[in-house]
Structure 1
Amino acid sequence: MARTRAADFEDKQRAILASAAAVLTEQGMDKASMAQIATQAGVSKALLYHYYPGKDALIFDIIRTHLSELDEAVAAADDPALEPRARLGALVGAVLESYRDADNFHVVQLNGTPTLPAAQKDEIHAIERRIVRRFSDVLRLVRADLPAPLLMPVTMSLFGMLNWVYMWFREGGPVTREDYAEIATRLLLDGIGGVGR
């Protein structure tokens, strides 16, 4: 008879992922050990191995979980009834809100994705493409006259602004996430002349 999952399986799994992301970020992908992750998570190594057969499986699940949650948040924020600029602003705001308390997950995504086997990379890249496509579709509405070859560079330039926020943004600082969502949107659409007006 198959073993049934505990009622709190997903909560424990999420706590393990958060602990693993913290250890992987602090120690690096190569140096972090399952023993360190178990200690950080406050679980036995046996329980950790019950959830994940090894560090590679943990890295993959951290990245997949992070991007899946981001994809869901962006999809939920995408309101076709909004005027295109406001719609883009809502998508930017959703990304920045999803990044709240997710710095370690984001670092593991940046550093861990290249280490994944091809099939797992394909799964991760499929989620990333879905998110990027949503932004590109809205940017096309904002700037219907934008030449097609420029759509991807413009879209990825926006992600360049968003993906490095974790390096400098501090909660309680002079700029809130909402403020920065507006700044990033205006920078992309209006240039620096549109910021602060």
Structure 2
Amino acid sequence: MARTIAKDYEEKRGQILKSAAKVFATEGFDRASMATLARECGISKANIYHYYESKDAILFDILDNYLSGLKKRICTLPLDGLDPETRLRRVVSAILMAYEGQDDEHKVQMNALGALPDAQQDLLRSYQRELVRFTSDVIAACAPALSEDRHKRRGVTMSVFGMLNWFHMWNTRATKQEREAYAALVCDLTLKGLDGL
């Protein structure tokens, strides 16, 4: 007889992913074992296999949930009717807010994505590319000349992400107000340079 799925199956999978992200972020994906993951989750090693067949499957789900969720949250922002500067400010702030509480997932993305098979990496990187492309379009709308120089456009876009990632990694306990203030600073630097501060 087939084993039935518990009512809280998806909730427990979510708890496993959160706990596993913490282990992968602190110990590294290669060094983490299923026994360590089970211990962090507060369940038996045998029970963790009821939810995931392998450590690789857990890693993929962590990154798929994180990156697809981030892409969806940002790329579906309601921006219609806003002027280009307001759109940029809305997007930059939303990215920094979306990072909140995702410290472990963010580290795992940077350090362990390459451990997955190529096809899975391609899918996850497609989420990243879509988010970058969307943000790049928002930035270019503020400075149309960027549309004619793709290298400069990419440089500006990745510089914005670099500033946001720096803040996120070094200010994990920042309040909402501190995040909003830094997002505004990033936009001011991007739109007006130092003279505009």
TM-score by length of 1: 0.91
Q: Is the 8 A contact 1:25 1:107 kept in 2?
A: yes
* Aligned counterpart for 1:159 among listed residues 152, 158, 161: 161
**CA displacement at 1:5 relative to structure 2:** 3.4
Q: Is the 8 A contact 2:17 2:62 kept in 1?
A: yes
CA-based RMSD: 1.9
Matched residue SS, 2:132: helix
Partner of 1:185: 187
Distance 1:92 1:133 in 2: 14
Deviations 1:151-185 (A, max 9, x none): 11211111111123232114356961111111111
**CA displacement at 1:98 relative to structure 2:** 1.1
Aligned residues: 195
Which residue identity lines up with residue 126 of structure 2 in the other structure?
Answer: A
TM-score by length of 2: 0.91
Distance 1:78 1:138 in 2: 13
Q: Which runs of 5+ in 2 are unaligned?
A: none
Distance 1:92 1:116 in 2: 29
Say if 2:11 is the partner of 1:11. Answer: yes
Partner of 2:80: 80
Which residue identity lines up with residue 39 of structure 1 in the other structure?
Answer: R
Q: Is the 8 A contact 1:186 1:194 kept in 2?
A: yes
Partner of 1:117: 117
Pick closer, same or farther for the CA change 1:133–1:174 going to 2, 3 Å: closer
Distance 1:16 1:127 in 2: 23
Say if 2:98 is the partner of 1:98. Answer: yes
Matches for 1:25-64 after TM superposition, within 5 Å: 25-64=25-64
Which residue identity lines up with residue 178 of structure 1 in the other structure?
Answer: E
Between the two proteins, what is the percent identity of the paired residues? 43
Which residue identity lines up with residue 183 of structure 2 in the other structure?
Answer: A
**CA displacement at 1:16 relative to structure 2:** 0.7
**CA displacement at 1:138 relative to structure 2:** 0.9
After the TM superposition, list the runs of 4 or more consecutive aligned residues in structure 1 that deviate by more than 4 angstroms: 1-4, 172-175
Q: Which runs of 5+ in 1 are unaligned?
A: none
Matched residue SS, 2:5: coil
Distance 1:55 1:129 in 2: 26
Q: Is the 8 A contact 1:74 1:95 kept in 2?
A: yes
Partner of 2:149: 148
Deviations 1:7-47 (A, max 9, x none): 32222111111100101111112111111111111122122
